[in-house]
Structure 1
Amino acid sequence: MTKRAPKPPPPPTEDERRRAGEAAQALRAAIAHPSTMGAKSVAHVDLARPRRSEWWESWANLSGFHRINGKAGRHIHALLPSWSYTQREIRAEMIPDLEALAERGERPTEDTSGRAA
């Protein structure tokens, strides 16, 4: 049995594009001035398969952005499903991916190392 390529996601809506632009601006502001992040929330998540747990952090003024398992962990954004980023990659990849989504309606297909999604 051969595997099929995953079905491409639908084109982004105007609301998703607007929110992506706002998210990119909020992340840039948070990097420049961490006090703009807002109140931090932390949740402990138990996962059944594979059996493990994670700590999810989010901030009031960074809607859709989460840090999983602390600074050494990964970072995700709700508008970029199936993508995760390291701390270093937020500025280099996540923010440009959000801006491309906002400006051109393009979802990421490759990371900066050139590996396809």
Structure 2
Amino acid sequence: MARAPKPLPPPTDDERRRAGEAARALREAIADPSTMGAKTAAHVDLARPRRGEWWESWANLAGFHRINGKAGRYIHALLPRWSFARAEIVAEMIPDLEALAERGVRPTEDTSGRAA
């Protein structure tokens, strides 16, 4: 039987500050994609299972990554253990970053009702 992951420590003041900055930067990038900055892409080879992924990041969106192109998933370093579909960035990722910034609350449940 699989064990539940170890709980994350409470967020630091620095993480909360960065979460607020990240939420604002993502909203700005959605409104004006020219604010994203230069894109960087890297190919990551994974040993188990044997496959590779393309990770993309942008200079002005610290911690935000797109994995395997537009049809892939999106992650943010301040929201470990979570990945988002493109349509979930505005509906879930940004509100999760704002909750982390404003109340120090990490997400525990996605909109489909599954627990973390």
In the aligned structure 2, how far is the partner of 1:18 from the partner of 1:109? 20
Quote the offset at 1:7 in angstroms: 2.3
Which runs of no fewer than 5 residues in structure 2 stay unpaired? none
Quote the offset at 1:82 in angstroms: 0.7
Asked if 1:99 is matched to 2:98, the reply is yes
Quote the offset at 1:115 in angstroms: 1.0
Asked if 1:32 is matched to 2:31, the reply is yes
**For 2:43, what is the secondary structure of its paired residue?**
strand
Quote the offset at 1:4 in angstroms: 4.3
Q: Percent identity?
A: 84
Which amino acid is 1:52 matched to? R
TM-score normalized by the length of structure 2? 0.97
Q: Which residue is 2:65 aligned to?
A: 66
Structure 1's 9 and 39: CA in aligned 2 closer, same or farther, altered over 3 A?
same
How many residues align? The count is: 116
Q: Which residue is 1:14 aligned to?
A: 13
Which runs of no fewer than 5 residues in structure 1 stay unpaired? none
In the aligned structure 1, how far is the partner of 2:33 from the partner of 2:111? 25
Which amino acid is 1:66 matched to? H
In the aligned structure 2, how far is the partner of 1:16 from the partner of 1:82? 16
Quote the offset at 1:65 in angstroms: 0.2
In the aligned structure 2, how far is the partner of 1:78 from the partner of 1:4? 23
In the aligned structure 2, how far is the partner of 1:52 from the partner of 1:6? 24
Quote the offset at 1:114 in angstroms: 1.1
Which amino acid is 1:91 matched to? V
CA RMSD of aligned residues (A): 1.0
Q: Which residue is 1:23 aligned to?
A: 22
Quote the offset at 1:5 in angstroms: 3.2
